[in-house]
Amino acid sequence: MSKWVYTFGDGTAEGTADMRNLLGGKGANLAEMSNIGVPVPPGFTITTEVCTHFTKTGGTYPDDLNAQVEAALETIGSATGRRFGDLEKPLLVSVRSGARVSMPGMMDTVLNLGLNDETVGALAKDAGDDRFAYDSYRRFIQMYGDVVMGLEHHDFEAILEGFKDEKNVDLDTDLTADDWQLIIERYKALVQEQLGKPFPQDPRDQLWGAIGAVFGSWMNARAITYRRLHQIPESWGTAVNVQAMVFGNMGDTSATGVAFTRNPSTGENALYGEFLVNAQGEDVVAGIRTPQAITEAARLESSAPEKPSLETALPEAFGEFRDICNRLERHYREMQDVEFTIERGKLWMLQTRSGKRTAKAALKIAVDMVEEGLINHEEAVSRVDPASLDQLLHPTIDPKAERNVVATGLPASPGAASGAIVFSSDEAERMAGQGKAVILVRVETSPEDIHGMHAAQGILTTRGGMTSHAAVVARGMGKPCVSGAGSIRVDYKAGTLTASGKTLKTGDIVTIDGATGEVLSGSVAMLKPELSGDFAQLMEWADKVRRMKVRTNAETPADARAAREFGAEGIGLCRTEHMFFDADRIGDMREMIVADSEEGRRAALAKLLPMQRSDFVELFEIMAGLPVTIRLLDPPLHEFLPKSEQEIEEVAGAIGVSATKLRRRLEMLAEFNPMLGHRGCRLAISYPEIAEMQARAIFEAAIEAGKRTGNPVRPEIMVPLVGLKAELDIVKAKIDAVAKMVAEETGTEVNYDVGTMVELPRACLTADKIAESAHFFSFGTNDLTQTTFGISRDDAASFLPTYQAQHIFETDPFVSIDVEGVGEFMKIATERGRKTRPDIKLGICGEHGGDPASVRFCETVGLDYVSCSPFRVPIARLAAAQAALKAKA
Ligand code: PEP
Ligand code: MG
C-alpha cells in the first residue's frame, strides 16, 4: 500500500525536511519543525504524488487515500481533543497548497474549515466570544465560496458593504455577532442562488472540496504562468497541508504575523517582520490594515512608530518567537521566512522556509554566515543565485542628483528605475512591447498582474507592506518596487495619479527608488553599481573554485573596460563589424562595398586600416596581455548600406557615386535569406582583401600595443561561419601570408592563433578535420541554435510564445542552450576536435555564455572558457563556480 498522507505536530512527524519533493516545501518544513520541538499546530500533508494522480486522471484520487486521511484526522483529533463536526469541541482546519518550491500568491488557501450552522455555536461557546465565532464562519463561507466553489469574491464584499450601508456603519469592527449572523444568511442565500445548491454543511464534504480545489489550482492559469516564468516543471505537482486552526483573532492577546530572520532587503542580521493584533493571517499579507513592527528597533524606523511592537505588546510570546527564529536559522543554516500566530498568548509557528531576498541581502547573508561559522566558503558560493546578481548591476540614483520627491512609500525592492507610468498590467505589457520603459502603478497587485510586473521596469503600489504581493514578487524578479505609498491617489478610470498636489497621467515619467521608497517626478541621473564589499568577497571565493575562465564579448573600449572591472579575463569575441558603424567610418566602409573593382575596394580599405588598427591597439592595451579573440567581418555587406530612398540619395552624395549606381549595387547584394547567405568566411573568400586588411590591422596593433605596454600580445584571429576545413584553410593562408609580410616589414614576429567559430552543424560533425587547421573553437551558439533548429533568430519571437505555451519549448532556446540538440552538437565537436588536437582551446561566445544554466552545461562539456556581454561577466563567474562545485560533488 502506498503512503499518501504524512502527519506532523505534537513534537513528532512522519516526514523530514529532505522529503520536499514528496511533501512540498511547506509540508517538509512543518514536519521538520515538529521534529525539532517547535510548536506547530498538528496536521497532515497529502503528497505531491496524489496531485500527479489527480491531474493525470482528470480529478480522481488513489483508492486508499480516503482511509489514510481519516486516520490522520484521528491523529489530529487526539492531539487537539477535537473532532470534525463535534458540537462541543469542533475541529477546524486550514487547507493550504505547498509545492516543492514556493509559488507566492499562486495557489489558494482555505481557513476555518469545519464550521457550519451548528459547530459555529460550539466555537462561540468554546471561545467565549460570539462575535468572533460568527465572523470566522462568514470568513469561511466567503473564502470557500470564492476559492472552492468559484463564486466571485466581490459578490460577498457587495453584500457586506450593502449591510454596512443599511446599518450606517463604516468598519467591520462595528458589526456585532447578530449582524454577522444576518450576513451569513445572505451569504448562504447567494451560494444557493448562484449555484442552485446549499453551502456544504458536512465538514468532510468541505474538506474534500478544499483538497480538490488546491490540487485543481495547480493547473490554473496563474500557476501555469508562474511556472513558465520560473521554469518549474508541471510534473512536480503540489502537496496539500491540512492543519488544525489556531486563531490570531481571539482578542488583544492574539496576533498573527510574518517575519524574516534577517532583513530580506539589506541582509542585516536583525529579525524583521510585521504583525497585526487580533487578526487572521491573510489580513497581514492583504495589506488592508497597516501592520506593526515586530521589534522595537524596527518600530522606531517604521512608517507607523506610534503603534507598539510585538516586543512590547506581547513580550513573552515575542521572547519565545525570537528564540525559535534563532533556532530555526541555526538548524537550517539559512535565513528563514516564517509565519506565526499567537492565540491568547500561546505562540504557534505555521510555516518556515528559506526566505526570498534581494541579491544584496543574499550576498551579505552568505558572507556573514561564513563569518559566523554557520557555512563554509563553498556553501556561500552556492547560496547566491547567479542571475540575481543582475539586480546589483542595476543603476541607483546619483546622490548628487536633484530629487523632486512627490511621495514616499516603503523600500520594497532595491534599484531605481524611470519610466512612463501605466495603470494596468495589460498596458504595461503593450507599451513595453513597443520598447518603452514603464512603471506599473497599482493600488495593490495580485497574481493577475504578474505579466505586467514582468514587463515593467519598476512597480509602485499605494497600499500594502513589505510582505505584500507587489513587494514579494518584485524582489523575486529583481525589479525596483516602492509599495504602500499611501499619499498617492490613483484614479484608474481617468488614468491619473495625484501626489503632493501634482496630477500625472498615463505616459508621464516618474522615477522610483526602491532603496528609499521615494517616488520622484521625471527621470533622474543614475549611478553605476558599487562592486566592492560583500560582492567582491563572494566573487573572490567563487573565482577560487571556478575552473572555466570568463571572457567578455566587447569591441568598444568602454565595454572592454567595464568588463575588466567586472572581472573578465580577456575578450572572447570582438565583432569587428560593430567597429564600422561609427559615423566617421561608415562612409569609407560603404565606399568599399560599392566599389566595383578590387582596386577600388583596396583604396577604401586603406582608409579603414588605420582606424581598425587604433581600435585594436586600444583593446589590447586595456586587456593588458589577456587573450583577445578578434573575429573577421561576419554580416552580409548590405547591412552597411542605406535602405530608404532618401538615405540612398544622401549616401550616394556622401561617397561620391550616383544614386543609380548605389541602387544597382544594393540590388546585387539583396538576398532572400541573408543569415544563410553571403556572410561569414564566405566574405573573406570572395573579397580576400577585406580579411587581409583586418589581419594587417591586428598584427600591426599587436606589435604597437606590445611595445607600449611591455606585454607581448598573442592575438587570436577567428574566422566566422566555417562549415568546411577548406574554407578555413583558404582564409588562414591569407592571414599567414599577411603575418609574414608584416614581420618582414617591421622586423617583429607576432605569435598568433587562428581558429574558428563553430556555429554550423556541419562544422560540429567535421570538427576533427577542421581542428587540423584551427587552434581554437568558439561555439557561436546563436547561429548554432538557429541552424540546428532551422529557426531564424530574428523571427522566432512571432511563434515562440505559442511554442512555450504549448510546452514545445520549456525555455527559449536562444536564451538557454537546448542541451538535447544544440548541446549534443557541442559535445560532438568537442570530442572530435580534441581527438585531432588535444590542446585545442574551446570556448563559447553566443548569448548563452552568460546564462547560468548554459554555463553549467559548458562545464559538463569541459569548455575552457565562456564569453558574455560585460554586465553578465559576474553572473558567469558565479555560475561557473557553482558548476565546478556541482561537478565535484
Ligand atoms: C553566434 O552566432 O553565437 C555569435 C556569437 O555570433 P553572432 O551573434 O555575431 O552571429
Ligand atoms: Mg554567429
Instruction: Give the CATH number, domain containing residue 317.
Output: 3.30.470.20
pLDDT at 291: 85
Q: Are residues 511 and 612 in the same domain?
A: no
Q: Which residue has the higher pLDDT, 62 or 473?
A: 62
The angle formed by the CA atoms of residues 485, 465 and 446, to the nearest 5 degrees, is: 90
Q: Is the CB of 846 under 6 A from ligand 1?
A: yes
Q: Are residues 766 and 834 in the same domain?
A: yes
Query: In whole angstroms, what is the distance from residue 444 CA to residue 453 CA?
Result: 12
| Catalytic residue check, 858 | no
Q: Are residues 259 and 234 in the same domain?
A: no
Q: Is the CB of 555 under 6 A from ligand 1?
A: no
pLDDT at 410: 86
Ligand with an atom nearest the CA of residue 867: 1
Evaluate if residue 287 carries a pLDDT over 60: no
For 301, other C-beta atoms within 10 Å of its C-beta total: 9
pLDDT at 469: 77
Identify the domain boundary among 190, 223, 244.
244
Please write the tens of the pLDDT for every residue from 712-721.
999 999 999 9
Count CA atoms within 13 Å of residue 882 on its CB side. 23
Lowest-pLDDT choice from 23-27, 148-152, 477-481 = 477-481
- Please give the share of the chain, as a percent, with pLDDT higher than 70: 98
Q: Let me know if residue 70 belongs to a domain.
A: yes
Q: Is the CB of 845 under 6 A from ligand 1?
A: yes
Give CA torsion, residues 15, 18, 22, 26, to 10 deg. Answer: 80
Q: Are residues 109 and 202 in the same domain?
A: yes
Evaluate if residue 321 carries a pLDDT over 90: yes
Instruction: Give the CATH number, domain containing residue 598.
Output: 3.20.20.60
695 CA from centroid of ligand 2 (Å): 19
Q: Which residues sit opposite 112 in a β-bridge? A: none
Q: Is the CB of 762 under 6 A from ligand 1?
A: no
Q: Is the CB of 21 under 6 A from ligand 1?
A: no
Please write the tens of the pLDDT for every residue from 387-399.
888 778 777 888 7
Q: Is the CB of 782 under 6 A from ligand 1?
A: yes
pLDDT at 831: 98
Q: Let me know if residue 67 belongs to a domain.
A: yes
Residue 759 CA: which ligand 1 atom is closest?
A: 2
Please write the tens of the pLDDT for every residue from 366-376.
999 999 999 99
Q: Let me know if residue 745 belongs to a domain.
A: yes
Q: Is the CB of 363 under 6 A from ligand 1?
A: no
Mutation to probe ligand 1, out of 792, 822, 845 (largest number of atoms < 8 A from CB):
845
Lowest-pLDDT choice from 139-143, 167-171, 195-199, 754-758 = 167-171
| Catalytic residue check, 681 | no
Please write the tens of the pLDDT for every residue from 490-531.
999 999 999 999 999 999 999 999 888 999 999 998 877 777
Q: Which three cell numbers stand for residue 607?
A: 582608409
Q: Let me know if residue 380 belongs to a domain.
A: no
* Amino acid identity at 562: A
Q: Is the CB of 793 under 6 A from ligand 1?
A: no
Evaluate if residue 64 carries a pLDDT over 60: yes
Q: Let me know if residue 383 belongs to a domain.
A: no
Residues 6 or more apart from 664 whose CB is under 8 A from it?
none
pLDDT at 478: 66
Q: Are residues 602 and 700 in the same domain?
A: yes
The angle formed by the CA atoms of residues 856, 857 and 860, to the nearest 5 degrees, is: 95
Q: Are residues 748 and 687 in the same domain?
A: yes
Determine if residue 58 is left, alpha or beta; phi over 0 gives left, psi from -120 to 50 gives alpha, anything else beta: left
Q: Let me know if residue 425 belongs to a domain.
A: yes
- Residue with CA at minimum distance from ligand 1 atom 9: 575
Q: Are residues 223 and 307 in the same domain?
A: no
746 vs 61, 97, 624, 742, CA distance in Å?
A: 82, 74, 22, 6
- Strand 255-260 to 272-277 pairing: antiparallel
Cβ(563)–Cβ(868) below 8 Å: no
Q: Residue 593: name the closest of 635, 532, 552, 631 by CA.
A: 635
pLDDT at 221: 82
Question: H or E segment at 689?
Answer: helix 688-709
Residue 779 CA: which ligand 1 atom is closest?
A: 3
Q: Which residue has the higher pLDDT, 87 or 221?
A: 87
Q: What mean pLDDT, rounded, does the chain reach?
A: 92
Q: Are residues 41 and 75 in the same domain?
A: yes
pLDDT at 106: 56
Q: Let me know if residue 662 belongs to a domain.
A: no
Evaluate if residue 283 carries a pLDDT over 80: no
599 vs 311, 591, 594, CA distance in Å?
A: 85, 12, 12
- Residue with CA at minimum distance from ligand 1 atom 3: 780
Evaluate if residue 105 carries a pLDDT over 60: no
Mutation to probe ligand 1, out of 579, 581, 633, 634 (largest number of atoms < 8 A from CB):
634
Please write the tens of the pLDDT for every residue from 416-432.
999 999 999 999 999 98
Residue 783 CA: which ligand 1 atom is closest?
A: 2
Residue 634 CA: which ligand 1 atom is closest?
A: 9
The beta-strand segments (E) located in 696-847 are 716-719, 753-758, 776-779, 841-844
Query: Is 634 strand, coil or helix?
Result: coil
Q: pLDDT band at 654, cuts 50/70/90?
A: confident
Please write the tens of the pLDDT for every residue from 693-739.
999 999 999 999 999 998 899 999 999 999 999 999 999 999 999 99
**Residues flanking ion ligand 2, Cβ below 5 Å:** 759, 780, 783
Cβ(517)–Cβ(412) below 8 Å: yes
Q: Let me know if residue 541 belongs to a domain.
A: no
Q: Are residues 677 and 764 in the same domain?
A: yes
Please write the tens of the pLDDT for every residue from 538-553.
999 999 999 999 999 9
Please write the tens of the pLDDT for every residue from 331-354.
999 999 999 999 999 999 999 999
Q: Are residues 281 and 178 in the same domain?
A: no
| From 53, 325, 394, 469, the catalytic residue | 469
- Please give the share of the chain, as a percent, with pLDDT higher than 90: 74
| From 574, 845, 858, 868, the catalytic residue | 845
Q: pLDDT band at 600, cuts 50/70/90?
A: very high
Instruction: Give the CATH number, domain containing residue 54.
Output: 3.30.1490.20
Q: Is the CB of 577 under 6 A from ligand 1?
A: no
Evaluate if residue 561 carries a pLDDT over 80: yes
Instruction: Give the CATH number, domain containing residue 462.
Output: 3.50.30.10
Query: Is 551 strand, coil or helix?
Result: strand
pLDDT at 397: 87
Q: Are residues 226 and 291 in the same domain?
A: no
Please give the distance of CA 680 from its chain centroid, rounded to a whole number: 35
pLDDT at 288: 62
Domain holding 586, by residue range, is 546-636+671-888
Please count the structural domains in the chain.
4
Q: Which three cell numbers stand for residue 448?
A: 493577475
Identify the domain boundary among 497, 527, 557.
527
Q: Are residues 631 and 486 in the same domain?
A: no
Identify the domain boundary among 191, 223, 244.
244
Q: pLDDT band at 450, cuts 50/70/90?
A: confident
- Residue with CA at minimum distance from ligand 1 atom 1: 780
Residue 845 CA: which ligand 1 atom is closest?
A: 5
Count CA atoms within 13 Å of residue 679 on its CB side. 22
